[in-house]
Structure 1
């Protein structure tokens, strides 16, 4: 068995997917390539080593055993979706020339910290990432037949709202800004469709008021999320679902684009985590945190001494750091997505 096939098999077992049923029922319908766009939820190594803590310990401690540019202790959504499709995780765009033939399985264009619009990082936003993809198509890297048997995975907008808050945007104007973000997202989804991608899955917005960093800033009570920020997340997701329905109706293909309901999945895991394994000790508390103000997971002093602490078992934590899930957290989220994915590819 090839190493990539063995990895996919192991991840299938980790997620609890019926491997036999998948091979008998799903192969005819599952895309053969995965193209990934967006932010740190799906970035597997594009963001530079000098500009992010994801290339420093303890990131990557669960998988692959060292930092790999993933914002977690281990695997991300990208890796799990690739395993569901039965293919290796697509190579990062930045490493495309050293891909060793893995380009045939797709490519990852995502960059941490980016959004639908420009944000606080000088890295390619969603529109620019799709532009990179289009250049490869025009250059002959991918043919029309390749695209028809492909899937795009999109994770965007979290950093747009973070940037809005950091710029001290007012709550009064936030409703208008949500509309702008969703409208621009719809433009990008239509562009991917026009380029010929067979299926598109986009992540809904996470319940923003449950992020540890937001709860800390607002001094939220233990084991509670901020209702106001969560309501705005719900508003975004409602508009996004409406936009996706419109795109599918325009194309006459009701299952061309699907929203993965991150909001409901995260809420269920946080409040009913015993019912959808793995079990988390306190789903709202991050595993890896800075020891003092100004430090964060991965921070070190001038002598290289860690300025962070890590929980005893990341497998018992939903959040890895102040924003990103652990590998165990992503496992639980993807398990929630499985019925949607199964219907999407049926």
Structure 2
């Protein structure tokens, strides 16, 4: 799917969320997962991507006047969502500290080049991802954040007032496959990618309950 088509799809999917928020629902922050269409700076902190194109002009010059790690010369869809909802721009996870205060108003886990599927899946097919970060890594970071936020009650309170943005992610999986195989083989990844994204959208996966918490 072309980048502009993916942009339109993202807007179409998120418009109802923004409309509901504008009608009275109040969010206190955003937790975001994805790839370069959502990454606002994590890629700058990874050795594998820190010196990539988004770390140099002309990236960032239209709005921020400097490269910020965004794969754009201006803002991303996530930036416009933040403005529409009137919430803080979620800090890139790899740029944040490691205290609860750093994450109570949301965090951005997205990394440019990230895949929905993990490295073991690609290794089993003789493939290697461009970036050593998958959706599983991002959900693991999210669980680390949950542990910092205190009791189950406190976590639920924060999560109930937060907007979760999952995606866009998966296109890099296809690009990795297409770089070494035919389009027919790349299509075999579809159910695996869908399953990986679906697993994140499952409450039990995204928000594990620990009975010994108080």
Fold similarity call, TM over 0.5: yes
Q: How far does the alpha carbon of each residue in 1:150-187 deviate from its partner, in whole angstroms, 9 at most, with x for none?
A: 1111221010111110122x333333321111122111
Corresponding residue number in structure 2 for 1:30: 26
Query: What do residues 66-111 of structure 1 show as CA deviations (whole Å, max 9, x unaligned)?
Result: 1111110011111111112111211110111199x56332000111
- Shift >4 Å, 4+ stretches: 191-194
Equivalent position of 2:185 in the other structure: 173
Deviation at 1:122, TM superposition (A): 3.6
Secondary structure of 1:153's aligned partner? strand
Q: Deviations over 1:284-337 (max 9, x none)?
A: xxxxxxxxxxxxxxxxxxxxxxxxxxxxxxxxxxxxxxxxxxxxxxxxxxxxxx
Aligned to 1:140: 149
Match of 2:170 in 1: 157
In the alignment, is residue 39 of structure 1 matched against residue 35 of structure 2? yes
Aligned position for 2:112: 112
RMSD: 2.8
1:127 aligns with 2:133: no
Q: Which has the larger radius of gyration?
A: 1
Q: Would the aligned equivalents of 2:139 and 2:206 in 1 still touch at CA under 8 Å?
A: no
Gaps of 5+ in 1: 1-21, 197-346
Structure 2 runs not aligned, ≥5 long: 1-17, 119-127, 209-214
For the 8 Å contact 1:55–1:69, the answer to whether it is kept is yes
Shift of residue 191, structure 1, vs aligned partner: 4.7
Give the match for residue 82 of structure 1.
82
Q: Secondary structure at the residue paired with 1:35? A: strand
RCO comparison, higher one (Cα < 8 Å, 6+)? 2
* Other-structure match for 1:239: none
- Aligned residue-pair number: 174
TM-score with structure 1 length normalisation?
A: 0.46
